[in-house]
Amino acid sequence: MALELDGIWAPLVTPFAEDESLDLEALAFNVQLYGQTPLRGYVALGTTGEFVHLSDEERGQVIETVVRAARADDRPVIAGVGGHATRVAIEQARRAADAGAAALLVWPPFYYKARMQAEALIDYFTAVADASPVPVILYHIPQNTGVNLSPAVVGELAAHPNIAGIKDSSGQPAQTIAFLREGGPRFRVFVGSTTALLAGLAAGAAGGILAAANLAPYECCEVYDHARAGRWAEAAEIYRRVAAVDEMVAGMGLGALKAVLDMLGYRGGHPRRPLVRPDEPRLDPLRLLLREQRLLGC
């Protein structure tokens, strides 16, 4: 049976203790809490999961922990994988699938980004998809990688039977729409930026893989449900509340997202340096905004 991907997914944070050691107990705790929400599933080792800060061994531990915890409510896990060499990406893909990932979110090689032209990117993603035992989702986040996946490249990759979709984190609705046009009806396009969520859903996106879903899982799912039902006024009202918080959190960085999760009863923990967690005085305006937008109880 094909994996049903449509809906809202949370790209989980990876909690660290104050000494920056991996806190797998906190990670499992968060998944258990999210199991009470309407989230479609979880992404381990996305950008919010600080995959670039983890060793190969730690990445395996994170995937295994999330998969094990997600079994309690029978929700699928997408694992972030990739490599600057194609053979490394293939090895990571196989390991993640062996650990129980239902699909893979594959980031492009970006260190030699000047050489990552259409032919190289098509070869890379095709090779990973050929070798992967589970479906592949392309990861488009040019603001971090410096690598832009053009609609033409995505359209060619969308024809591969094991490439199921793309997460577009560009924040550019026009690019999301181009991916929808070029990908065809089988290809699932996920909005990866809260900024573009409503526009993406209106254009036909399959859902969202959103950092904001960590802190507002119910609200993000309500936006999706209202949009799917054509209740755009209701979707917009909830979206504005989430977007206001997301904008402030994004401006303060991943350490702020982890601090917000602590405020909400999850276990965000600390980021790894050079990322830092804001001190308490800097978090006060964020705490106030959470209350104003009815995301944090008084």
pLDDT at 147: 97
Q: What percent of the chain has pLDDT over 70?
A: 99
Please pick, among 75, 167, 226, 241, the residue that the annotation labels catalytic: 167
Chain centroid to CA 93: 17
H helix intervals, 150-216: 151-158, 173-183, 197-203, 212-215
**The predicted structure's pLDDT at residue 298:** 42
Report the pLDDT value the prediction gives residue 297, as an integer from 0 to 100. 62
Handedness of CA 34, 256, 79, 59 (dihedral sign): negative
> Average pLDDT for residues 11-32, to the nearest whole number?
97
Are 282 and 249 in contact by the 8 Å Cβ rule? The answer is no
Q: Is 167 among the residues known to form the active site?
A: yes
Residue-wise pLDDT tens digits, 215-235:
999 999 999 999 999 999 999
* Closest by CA position to 260, among listed 223, 225, 212: 212
